[in-house]
Amino acid sequence: MFGKLSEKMAGVDRKRVYTAAAALLIAGAAGHFMQRGNTPEPKTAMAPATPPAIAPDRVAEPAMTAMVVPTGEAPWNAPEAVALTVPDPTDFVSPDTAPPAPVDMIEPAIAQAPALVDPAPEFPLVEVARAASDNSLRTMAVPQSLPVPAPEPVVTAPITLAAVDSPQELAPLPEPAEPESLASACDIELSADPRPGALVFLSLTAPCNSGETVEFDHAGLKFSEQLDPEGGLVILAPAMMDAANFVVTFEDGARKTVTATVPDLAEYERLALVWQGGTGLQLHALENGAFYGEAGHIWAETPSTPDNAVSGLGGFVSALGSSANGYATDVYTFPVSLMRNGEAPDVSIEAQVGETTCGTRIAGSILHANPGRAPTVSDLSMSVPGCDAVGEYLVLKNLPQDLKIAGN
């Protein structure tokens, strides 16, 4: 080996060889000194940190020199060429290893240098990008994106738009259905059913008129009542005609009418007193020779019951009207059978003098029921004494034949 090297070095200028050898020795010594001068941390950690970047640079120089050398004379100091290859590479790769293993250390050092210089994560990124750029993978990616159900909503969307835009479907939409439902919710219902004692059971339902005051009118028999919070009202009203027609008037002027047939009206004598507002008018009946406050004194505060008349024992009073400024009525009903026996009651109309009526004139009407025809109506008017008579009563007796005013 040295002989071949001597032959190749024969034609080389000795000064150049010396200069190259000296440079390599100085560089190797400097590298060896740098590695020895570092802190004595674990040598396995230091070896991959610094040599990888330096090892390829330092090894490249003798390679370049070896390529230039083969020309000249056989050198006399060929052993120095051995120093070029033995000490330097081993010192850079692993300073603590023995010189016989430089070849094994140089190969892993050169293999690791590019791995450390180029970051490891870059290799998988390059491979992924290349794999993604392959035509085979592109063709596989296309069918994976095509199955997405994007075309389905696109197809259904225009269908719904066409349905909305079509005037034929918008036209039949029954907007009046809402007013109809509202109207049905506000429907007024009025019913009338006959009851024993020549009475009529009235049932009124007006959900949208809750709390209103309504006025009833039946052949001149008038009374005002207030609807409950649900717009309902039930009343047991006396009939003044066989064909009892009741008209209900609401606050807005709306009216509702109902008719009931009363088959037993001819079995009773009926007298009604009607007034409006706080007049103080009252209807009193004294049966069987009774005095005021005794049994048989029938009026609004002791009205008796319809069953008493149905059983033929006596009469009863129906007091209707709950509005302070509306119409009110007292209706006295007495069995005709008792009058045939000469047991006719003593009926009177009275008016109590009050602070609101003293010195004024009050008015009302008297109705007498007649089976088979309209009731007889008589107007009533009274002059109330001055306020020094507050608490006293005005009495009208012998009704309905003659009207006489007398002080009580």
Tokens representing 109 are 């050092």
Nearest of 157, 169, 31, 159 to residue 90 by alpha carbon? 31
Say which residue, 245 or 12, is predicted with more confidence: 245
Q: Which of 11-25, 93-107, 264-278 has the highest mean pLDDT?
A: 264-278
Say which residue, 108 or 290, is predicted with more confidence: 290
pLDDT of residue 341: 75
Look-up of token digits 């071949």 = 4
Percent of residues, the chain, with pLDDT higher than 70: 55
Q: Which of 51-60, 101-110, 160-169, 227-236 has the highest mean pLDDT?
A: 227-236
Give the chain's end-to-end CA distance (angstroms, integer): 168
> Which stretch of DSSP H or E encloses residue 154?
helix 151-165
User: Is the N-terminal amide bond of 400 cis, ω within 30° of 0?
Assistant: yes
- The model's confidence at residue 151, banded by pLDDT at 50, 70 and 90, is low
pLDDT of residue 344: 83
At residue 54, does pLDDT exceed 50? no
Ordered by where they begin, the domains of the chain are 2-117 (no CATH), 182-261 (2.60.40.10), 266-407 (2.60.60)
Residue 367 CB partners (closer than 8 Å, separation 6+): 219, 220, 221, 240, 271, 272, 273, 274, 375, 376, 377, 378
- For the purposes of burial, counting CB atoms within 10 Å of the CB of 132, is it exposed (0-12), middle (13-18) or buried (19 or more)? exposed
Q: Are 265 and 257 in contact (CB under 8 A)?
A: no
pLDDT of residue 71: 46
Q: Among 112-126, 185-199, 333-347, which stretch is predicted with the lowest mean pLDDT?
A: 112-126
- The model's confidence at residue 20, banded by pLDDT at 50, 70 and 90, is confident
Q: What is the mean pLDDT of the chain?
A: 73
